[in-house]
Homo-oligomer: A and B are copies of this chain.
Amino acid sequence: MESSIAPHLVCPRTRTRRIEDDYAPPYPCWSARASTSVEQVVMGYFGVQSRGREMHGKACVALMKMAETFGQTDGPRHHDLAHFVDAQGYDNMIAIAYWDDPAAFARWRSSAKVDAWWSSDERLHDGIGYFREIVSPRVEHYETMFNTPDRLEGVGIAMGSISGDIQEHGYWGSARDRIPLAQTDALSPAGALRVVGDTPAHGRRVRIEGHDNLAIIRSGQEWTETRGKERELYLQDMEPVLREGMNFLRDRGASIGCYSNRYMTHIDAAGKPAEKTFGLSLWRSLGDMERWSESHPTHVAIFGTFMRIVQELQFQLKLRVYHEVAVLKPDEQEYEYIHCHPKTGLLNVLAAA
């Protein structure tokens, strides 16, 4: 058993972990590991927003166009495609791309093909919306967790490697205990979201600056390989409760510090959905995220049901779960929305305020 925090990121704690040194988790979990030369990663959420069947084809073409540029020199190490219909009835498709080198990302984004297309005024008149939410946590500022060691997801794929069994999981607050910076820092939020450039309105190009210690989580599950009782438990007991929780965050999250939530389904390049979903949310702080996750009846129920399944199935789970959580400095965040409706992403909280 080892710490989730990679050895070269461990430092003397001034802030206490929640567990004793002899704590043994109730089931195994793993964290992704990058090479020690990796100092910062980039998680790029590239979105396309459209409404109605007529515009959907155009949106798909735009998504594919963006994904095509991932194949260029300096493109990401990994990307996923995902879809969800938001509360306003818009289709949102996102290509999520991961780099383990911000310099490579910078070269990619400033390449003629990527930059010219994104910066073009035509994007305001395509009849569909676009957004980019790009977060670039330094390695001290994020953590990952997987309940299976044989296949990574998300940023873990870009990181490329995996830890041994980790100690900091299976209890509330363990995400914080896995973040290297939390060894010495309370990760308290400071400042506020701020619009830069154009004023937010549908049909505009709006940029938003993030504030200190804004937190993001991508938390996923895949039930492709589940069978029989486990599949039934997931689909009948867990998924409906998960959906209820995701809807709460989407519709009423702003009141408790959740700026935005999307409950997304993986799709392939042809748009076919996989048995694989994730929640993607942005929060005022890690503390707000912790408070919701451990006190909202839906999330508490999900955790309880998961623990029950784990025990009933004697730890032989086929359900894959993972997450990645980052707590971000202002210079690690960049949000831009083009012709998106005012409830999109962070626009949502600005509209409310």
B291 lies within 8 A of A23 (CB)? yes
Name the one of B16, B26, B296 contacting A307, with C-beta atoms under 8 angstroms. B296
Contact flag A173-B287 (CB < 8 Å), given A297-B307, A303-B300, A308-B297:
no
For chain A, residues 298 to 322, give those with C-beta under 8 angstroms from any C-beta of chain B: 300-301, 303-305, 307-308, 311
| A16 CB contact (under 8 Å) in B186, B296, B311 | B186
Which interface residue of A26, A173, A291 has the most chain B CB atoms within 10 A?
A: A291
- The size class of the interface chain A forms with chain B is 20 to 34
**In the complex, what distance in Å separates the CA atom of A304 from the CA atom of B307?**
13
A residues 134-177 with Cβ under 8 Å of B? Answer: 170-173
Question: Is A294 close to B, CB under 8 A?
Answer: yes
Do the beta carbons of B170 and A295 come within 8 Å of each other? Answer: yes
Residue of B nearest to A189 (CB): B20
Contact, CB under 8 Å: A295 / B26: yes
- Verify A171–B172 contact, CB threshold 8 A: yes
Report yes or no: A16 in contact with B19, Cβ–Cβ below 8 A: no
A26 to B292, CA, bound (A): 10
Bound: A320/B307 CA distance, A: 28
Cα-based distance from A311 to B297 in the complex (angstroms): 9
Q: How far is the CB of A248 from chain B (nearest CB, A)?
A: 11
Q: What are 14 contact pairs spanning A and B, CB under 8 A? A: A18-B18, A18-B173, A20-B186, A23-B287, A23-B291, A171-B290, A171-B295, A172-B172, A172-B173, A173-B173, A297-B304, A297-B305, A301-B304, A304-B304
